[in-house]
Amino acid sequence: MKLEQVELRRIHLPLVAPFRASIGTLHHRDVLLVHVIADGVEGWGECVAFGEPFYSYEYTDGAHDVIRRHMLPLLLAQREVRAEDVIGILTPVRGHPMAKAAVEMAILDAELRVDGRSFGDFLGATRPAVDCGVSVGIHERVEDLLRTVEGYLADGYKRIKLKIEPGHDVEDVRAVREAFGDILLQVDANTAYTRTDAQHLAELDEFDLLLIEQPLPEEDIRGHAELAQVVRTPICLDESITSAKAAEDAIALGACSIVNIKAGRVGGYLEARRVHDVCAERNVPVWCGGMLETGLGRAANVALAALPNFTLPGDTSASGRYYAQDIVEPFVLDGGTLAVPTGPGLGVSPLSDALEQFTVSVELCR
Ligand code: OSB
Ligand code: MG
């Protein structure tokens, strides 16, 4: 398709409650949306980078700048652009996977709308709905943590993930395990530990967690492999898995036995599908991570999570877990699951009133 026009729209969405992880606390999402017009149809992409570079080096202003100054000129110069060619066209730009993923997502959405095909169908979804988990931020007081978890279990979430960091780990997990019994439970450290914490992390083994996510720094593949020899809880990588190749290597080195897939982190939904395939070939289960997306990114994530090797519930929570008002029709939990959209492309479109309400700026590029 021929890219006719690209709009870079910034929105500011307040969260229903602050979300605290070892890397910092979020109070709102400062999101960049990529809105393309091509062959007379629209396409939407969501950049998952946060306002501050605390989870990844990418952050919203940086992604906006690199897309505007370095990516769009390459794409707008093409006579024809296909979604599967976007990453190749953008190879002169090093890194910036989240920015690239947002651009690819918008073009893929437009392309699929032209073809009348859904994201789920295109990616290879094999289920009409996906099991949902929820990621629970660090709470200063255990009583408050238990009240939050209780609420999510009442909502129907099928698995609880607790954010942990030194000082908020073993006792928090013990309290949740004691209060709620045999629930599916896992933890995410967002790189908060070091190799010398191996014995401490082994104290989590008694709680039969599904997995411990990204305990060590993202570069420390060898450290994770060594840790896997000391702890019995399966190690899952998030930040370290930047591509299908990285997943292949981490698995071969024994650094993880489960993988969290986030399309933004690996440079798009096409690469995310390759990560899924690499893991499936090696019998490594995957699950769909989240970046507190709006309903646009959520639609694509739910489609991805419907692929066959997504055998663990994902961080694909309902819109209401994040936002009082989403920018598309809200995703609502049904028996602990979210339905995979079936309409063309993402199968959802922004609600113009909500979009305008939260828009901070709009920039037109052509
Ligand atoms: O590591 O998965 C993560 C939120 C912010 C930064 C990093 C992470 C998270 C989550 C939330 O765990 C997942 C979600 O509900 O979207
Ligand atoms: Mg994580």
pLDDT value at position 201? 98
pLDDT value at position 189? 98
Q: For residues 294 and 305, what is the distance between their CA atoms, to the nearest angstrom?
A: 16
* Integer-rounded Cα radius of gyration of the chain: 20
pLDDT digits (tens, 9 = 90+) for 230-240: 999 999 999 99
> Are 271 and 246 members of one domain?
yes
Find the 315 Cα to ligand 1 centroid distance in Å.
7
* Catalytic-residue membership of 163: yes
Q: Residue 243: inside a domain, yes or no?
A: yes
Segment 137-160 mean pLDDT: 98
Segment 153-163 mean pLDDT: 98
Pocket test for ligand 1, best of 315, 316, 319, 331 (most atoms within 8 A of CB): 315
pLDDT value at position 366? 84
> Are 295 and 359 members of one domain?
no
Segment 306-331 mean pLDDT: 98
pLDDT digits (tens, 9 = 90+) for 196-220: 999 999 999 999 999 999 999 999 9
Q: For residues 248 and 279, what is the distance between their CA atoms, to the nearest angstrom?
A: 7
The band of 352, judged by pLDDT with boundaries at 50, 70 and 90, is very high
CATH number where 48 lies: 3.30.390.10
CA dist list (Å): 273 to 2, 146, 223, 248: 25, 36, 27, 13
- Domains in the chain: how many in total? 2
Strands 129-131, 337-339: pairing is antiparallel
pTM for this prediction:
0.98
Range of the domain at 88: 3-116+349-365
User: Which residue is closest in CA terms to ligand 1's atom 9?
Assistant: 291
Query: Are 165 and 192 contacting, i.e. CB atoms less than 8 angstroms apart?
Result: yes
> Are 189 and 68 members of one domain?
no
322 CB less than 6 Å from ligand 1? Answer: no
Segment 146-169 mean pLDDT: 98
* Catalytic-residue membership of 262: yes
Query: Are 288 and 314 contacting, i.e. CB atoms less than 8 angstroms apart?
Result: yes
**Residue 270, helix vs strand vs coil:** helix
> Are 111 and 126 members of one domain?
no
Residues less than 5 Å from ion ligand 2, measured at CB: 188, 213, 238
Tracing tokens 């007081």 back to the chain, one arrives at: 141
pLDDT digits (tens, 9 = 90+) for 10-20: 999 999 999 99
